[in-house]
């Protein structure tokens, strides 16, 4: 099965700065999603980008997708201390019986925003 | 929005005991639910796909006799860790896509259950 790989594994920035995280994957996808996870908690869905889309915005979030390079990036602008969390990309498997719902998660980027 | 709950949120048990974790979709029906496991500082790994009214589909390397899954209704799936051992200590998360919603690509995740086996 494919796996997303995020980089960097850890990122520490000052409040107000932008944070960029990257994700690469290996096989075809219908869509790619980004999730946030606060320490020891569940997942929060941030944004979904379809394979025919190149860029998507949601508030302070900007996601890009390059299917030719099999990569995506998540940009968080004007970061806040509350953005401190782990961020995961997740890709679906178009060939699984569960359609776009069976997800493969990347290893995640641990973001620390220093006040 | 749609909510998925898990119970319990925390469980500590002795080695050799069995632990049941429930995953419920609170305001929608889910014919399919997914169970993930997350070890500390690692990513989520899909364990199995739970199908209402039929057998679960397990990922490679996941022992079906150890991780029993029952999806008896459209709103409830249970994961039972049988004869739990310390290496089963992990964070277990379920997710559920809404049923009968064409074009609905996102799914809803439960808050997770942290299992500690002593």
Task: With H, G, I as helix, E, B as strand and everything else as coil, classify residue B1.
Answer: coil
d(CA B82, CA B67) in angstroms, rounded, equals 6
Q: Please give the full DSSP string across A47-93, using - where no structure is assigned.
A: EEEETT-SEEEETTEEEEEETTTTEEEEEE-S--GGG-EEEEEEEE-
Looking at residue B63, its pLDDT comes to 94
- 8 Å CB contact between B70 and B48: no
> What sign does the dihedral B21-B26-B28-B29 (CA atoms) show?
positive
In this predicted model, which residue has the larger pLDDT, B98 or A29?
A29
d(CA A91, CA B27) in angstroms, rounded, equals 26
Token pair 């029952």 in the structure block, residue: B70
Looking at residue B117, its pLDDT comes to 97
Looking at residue A1, its pLDDT comes to 33
Q: How far is A41 from chain B (nearest CA, A)?
A: 6
Strand A61-66 to A55-58 pairing: antiparallel
Closest Cβ opposite residue B105 in set A88, A100, A104: A100
Looking at residue B57, its pLDDT comes to 92
For the segment A40-89, what is each residue's pLDDT rounded down to a tens digit? 788 999 999 999 999 999 999 999 999 999 999 999 999 999 999 999 99
At residue A39 the predicted structure's pLDDT band, cuts being 50, 70 and 90, is confident
B-chain residues near A30 (CB < 8 A):
105
Chain A (28-87) residues lying within 8 Å, Cβ to Cβ, of chain B? 30-31, 33, 35, 40-43, 45, 48, 50
Looking at residue A3, its pLDDT comes to 54
Looking at residue B106, its pLDDT comes to 76
The yes-or-no verdict on residue A2 having pLDDT over 50 is no
Give percent of chain A with pLDDT exceeding 90: 70
**pLDDT, mean of residues B77-106:** 86
For the segment B13-61, what is each residue's pLDDT rounded down to a tens digit? 999 999 999 999 998 888 889 999 999 888 999 999 998 888 899 999 9
For the segment A55-69, what is each residue's pLDDT rounded down to a tens digit? 999 999 999 999 999
Does A33 contact B106 at a Cβ distance shorter than 8 Å?
A: yes
Whole-number mean pLDDT of chain B? 91
Residue A100 phi/psi, 5° resolution?
-85, 5
């Amino acid at each position: 099965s494919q796996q997303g790989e995020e980089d960097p594994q850890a990122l520490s920035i000052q409040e107000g700065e932008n944070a960029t995280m990257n994700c690469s994957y290996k096989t075809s996808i219908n869509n790619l999603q980004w999730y946030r996870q606060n320490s020891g908690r569940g997942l929060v869905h941030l944004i979904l980008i379809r394979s025919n889309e190149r860029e998507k915005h949601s508030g302070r979030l900007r996601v890009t997708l390059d299917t030719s390079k099999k990569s995506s990036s998540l940009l968080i602008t004007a970061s806040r201390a509350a953005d401190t969390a782990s961020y995961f990309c997740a890709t679906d498997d178009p060939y699984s019986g569960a359609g776009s719902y069976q997800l493969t998660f990347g290893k995640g980027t641990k973001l620390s925003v220093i006040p | 929005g749609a909510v998925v709950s898990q119970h319990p949120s925390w469980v500590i048990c002795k080695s050799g005991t069995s632990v049941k974790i429930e995953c419920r979709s609170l305001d929608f029906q889910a014919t399919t639910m997914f169970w993930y496991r997350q070890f500390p500082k690692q990513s989520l790994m899909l364990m199995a796909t739970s199908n209402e009214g039929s057998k679960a589909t397990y990922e490679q390397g996941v022992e079906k006799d150890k991780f029993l899954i029952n999806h008896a209704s459209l709103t409830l799936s249970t994961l039972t860790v049988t004869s739990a051992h310390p290496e089963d200590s992990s964070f277990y998360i379920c997710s559920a896509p809404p049923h009968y919603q064409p074009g609905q690509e996102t799914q809803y995740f439960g808050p997770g259950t942290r299992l500690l086996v002593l």
